[in-house]
Structure 1
Amino acid sequence: MSEQRVEFVESVGGAKLAVHRIGPKEGGGRPVLLLHGLFSSALVNWIKFGHAAKLAAAGFEAIMLDLRAHGQSDAPHDPAAYPSDVLVQDALKVVETLGLAEFDLCGFSLGSRTSVRAVLAGLTPRRLVLGGMGLEGLDKWERRSSFFIGAIDRFEEIKRGDPEYVAQQFMKSQKVDRVATRLLLQSVDDTRAEQLREITMPTLVVCGAEDDDNGSAPDLAAALPDGTYVEVPGTHMSSVTKPELGDAIVRFLSA
């Protein structure tokens, strides 16, 4: 596998964001900015199961951001560090700091929500990949986030069999900073279905066959001006472990 490199970018409120890079260095490969899902990290979503290595082997440079309050990035406890759409501001700052002029953008779950909103805020990737996301998942975030905030608030009370048990166990495995993540959850903004008309670049919507956590992925692809839907094996949690996810991303970005 290509050598992994890590650097840090300073963003909103001085927070340091970890950026992991795998693939041909500086100009040697086409950049792909990858944004992971909630409670996860670049390591878990993109590196551990080989997706970044597949991109590197195909001639891309995988540029993977640890979202604020995740992975090796800062997790401030000051509410002022989490203004509205702070993850979008972070993505724009990383693109600006790294000087990414021509690049592709790929997200999973919360990373997909962030990718959509970053495009609406002005990012112009050549191609866009939205993983683990359906049409309904882009809107009404308060309803979705309240589940995770509840899991954080009840963290010590949750038992096996409770609805929040899987989220609790994943937070434990990733050593999530629950104070910072709770603040972050309250900073995410919604995207209305009609706004998707503004996302005109070719877009892959790739989702697990058993994943309906964020609504209908085929409906999301149909709502986009140039959307394509691809089904891969797995649930919302397990689809990132499947080689088919990386294969679908590489195939789409190589077209």
Structure 2
Amino acid sequence: MSRAINPVDGTAVAYAAVGPADAPALLLAHGSALSSAIWRGFGYMAALRPRYRLLLPDLRGHGRSDKPTDSDCYAMDLVVGDLLAVLDDAGVERAHVMGYSFGARSVLSLAVAAEDRVRSLIVGGGSARPQAGAFDRLFFPGCVDVLERDGMEAFLDAWSAHRQWPVDAATRAAFRANDDRALAAYFRRSEQEPGIADEALAALRVPTLAFVGSEDLLRVPDTRALARTIPGARLAVLRGFDHATTIAASREVLSVVEPFLAAAPRA
């Protein structure tokens, strides 16, 4: 993997670049406690790499990227700086960008901060709302305290107990690969994020697709709000999936993502 350096704080962000060098660039940003490995594991890489140059970063605090344990290191402006550093390091002026969950907030913030670097925007299971209490709602009440005090296994067990069905083995393995202290610091800072103002969303002029699982009860209203607020945004609700299972349903996700990308500007 290559490493891009955020010039603001020196954080190193690991990323892979795969696919034809002369193809349009598509940056994929993963969700909380995961890594860029999901894009291979869930089949996105195989489907997309023939037509796109894929940029696959491990977001800070995840995968092979640096994992600071100071919560202030996870401010969203620094995360946006990481994505810009990846684009710069890869020599990409403009890219299609797609993110899920934390990745969705990251690419949405990137589009607001640097719209000239974004060809099109795909936001999956995302939210522009303030994030206070978001992880308690997404996982279970007191989840960050459990992670800090008792570690990842206790966190995963408690999460399974609060779900309709247990956390699958692949997701468990991905979560176990994290540094508990760094992940807790990321969670703490994320809960302080104020969100993105509707005025900033309404000013976007990039082609946008917002998708969400129909059983993702917290993110369905947030995703609908995004689609209403961003001019011309398309909305796709994927039936039968919750927040954890939507991104793994690559066939269903790609059924809406690939036509959108094909119709988006290529220059």
5 Å-filtered alignment, 1:1-255, equals 6-11=1-6, 12-25=8-21, 28-44=22-38, 46-57=39-50, 59-79=51-71, 81-83=73-75, 85-124=77-116, 125-133=118-126, 137-145=127-135, 150-155=142-147, 156=150, 159-160=157-158, 162-163=161-162, 170=171, 173-174=174-175, 175-188=177-190, 189=193, 190-216=195-221, 217-233=223-239, 234-242=241-249, 243-255=251-263
Unaligned runs of 5+ in 2: none
SS of alignment partner, residue 219 of structure 1: helix
Q: Which amino acid aligns with 2:262?
A: S
The 1:187–1:244 alpha-carbon spacing in structure 2 relative to 1, beyond 3 Å, is same
Contact 1:22 1:53 in 2 (8 A): no
**Structure 1 residues 241 and 83: CA distance shift in structure 2, 3 A:** closer
Unaligned runs of 5+ in 1: 1-5
Matched to 1:228, the amino acid is: R
Residue by residue over 1:68-105, the C-alpha shift from the partner in whole angstroms, topping out at 9 and shown as x without a partner, is 01111111224563445321121122222222113111
Aligned partners of 2:30 and 2:36 also within 8 Å? yes
Displacement after TM superposition at 1:33 (Å): 0.9
Q: 1:117 to 1:173 in 2, by over 3 A?
A: closer
Tell me if the contact between 1:152 and 1:178 (Cα under 8 Å) persists in the aligned partners. Answer: no
Superposed displacement of residue 60, structure 1: 0.7
Q: Deviations over 1:12-32 (max 9, x none)?
A: 43222111222112xx21000
Decide whether the 8 Å contact of 1:109 with 1:132 is kept in 2. Answer: yes
Q: Secondary structure at the match of 2:49?
A: helix
Q: Secondary structure at the match of 2:97?
A: strand
Identity %: 25
Asked if structure 2 preserves the Cα contact closer than 8 Å seen for 1:86 and 1:187, the reply is no
| Whole-angstrom CA distance in 1 between matches of 2:72 and 2:33 | 21
Q: Deviations over 1:166-198 (max 9, x none)?
A: 78x956642221211222234443112232112
* Cα 1:54/1:173, change in 2 over 3 Å: closer
Contact 2:104 2:125 (C-alpha < 8 Å) held by counterparts: yes
Residues 89 and 79 of structure 1: CA distance in aligned 2, closer, same or farther (over 3 Å): same
Other structure's SS at 2:119 match: coil
Q: TM-score, normalised by structure 2?
A: 0.81
Kept after mapping to 2: 8 A contact 1:127/1:202: yes
Letter of the aligned partner of 2:206 in structure 1? M
Taking structure 1 as reference, are residues 84 and 61 closer, same or farther at Cα in structure 2, changes over 3 Å only? closer
Cα separation, 2, equivalents of 1:205 and 1:9: 28
- Count how many residue pairs are aligned between Structure 1 and Structure 2: 243
